[in-house]
Amino acid sequence: MQIIFAILTFTSTLTGGLFAIRFRNKLNLIMGFVAGIILGVACFDVLPDIIELIKTNNFSVTESMIALMFGFLLFHSLEKVFAIHHSHESDYPDHKHPHVGILSAIVLIGHSFMDGIGIGVAFKLSQSVGILVSLAVISHDFTDGMNTVTLMLLNHNTVNKSRIFLIIDALAPVFGILFTMMLTISNYMLFLYLSFFAGFLIFISASDILPEAHKNKSSGKILSLTVLGIVLIFIVSRII
């Protein structure tokens, strides 16, 4: 049963990424939609999971906020370091760097890996729980693939390199499921990881993707797609 859902998560992620590559000429519109999706995932998926872990395990809210801020500042700092290292900001204010896209994709791959762990752990509890968790992961893996490709292309990576990272992202949940057959992860480590990941999501959506989406095209259509992405994740999170 787990193998079947692993194949479905792979297919869903791959399809979402290929969709983003196919319509990359409309990248501004895709970025607006993806930014909304990422904000929605942070607010309606990741943060509620963190709050639940705090309630059930009596974890520290302060530690969560420190991890969240660390995730935000780490990627903000790395982006600036890459920019300063490769060019003078005054001469090339809009210059983008493939390293930033690769780093962002790696974090998203890490999240996909954790999705696979979630499926594996759920099946250890019961088959019914495992099926429900698997359906939840599959439902948003399409957008995970879109996010990975969009961040790669946004930072001037090639289409071929974007495809490579998309395949890795699609395989990550599969390896996550296999990982649970050998090892386990503590609730505390999951708590810190989710907090860190929330900071990363907030940074790339609000500070990276949205400004780029609206650059030279501050249209109502892009804003509408952002809102649509947020609403979509809100509805999906309520249903699942």
Give domain limits for the chain.
Answer: 2-239
**Per-residue exposure over 29-53, b if at least 16 CB sit within 10 Å of its own CB, e if not:** bbbbbbbbbbbbbbbbbbbebbeeb
pLDDT at position 201, please? 82
Output the CA torsion sign for 185, 187, 189, 190. Answer: positive
Rg (C-alpha) for the chain, rounded Å, is: 18
Please tell me the predicted confidence (pLDDT) of residue 91.
45
Dist CA 110 CA 106 (whole Å): 6
The pLDDT assigned to 175 comes to: 92
Q: Residues in the chain with pLDDT < 50?
A: 84-93
> What Cα–Cα distance (Å) separates residue 15 from each residue in 50, 91, 145, 154?
29, 39, 7, 19
Residues 6+ apart with CB under 8 A from 84: none
Strands (E), 32-174: none
Contact in structure between 71 and 42 (CB atoms under 8 Å)? no
Whether the CB-CB separation of 170 and 6 falls below 8 Å is answered with no
**51/44 Cα distance (integer angstroms):** 11
Q: What is the pLDDT of residue 119?
A: 82
3-state helix, strand, coil in the chain (%, to 5): 85, 0, 15
Q: Enter the pTM of the model.
A: 0.69
Q: Residue 198 — left, alpha, or beta (φ > 0 → left; ψ -120 to 50 → alpha)?
A: alpha
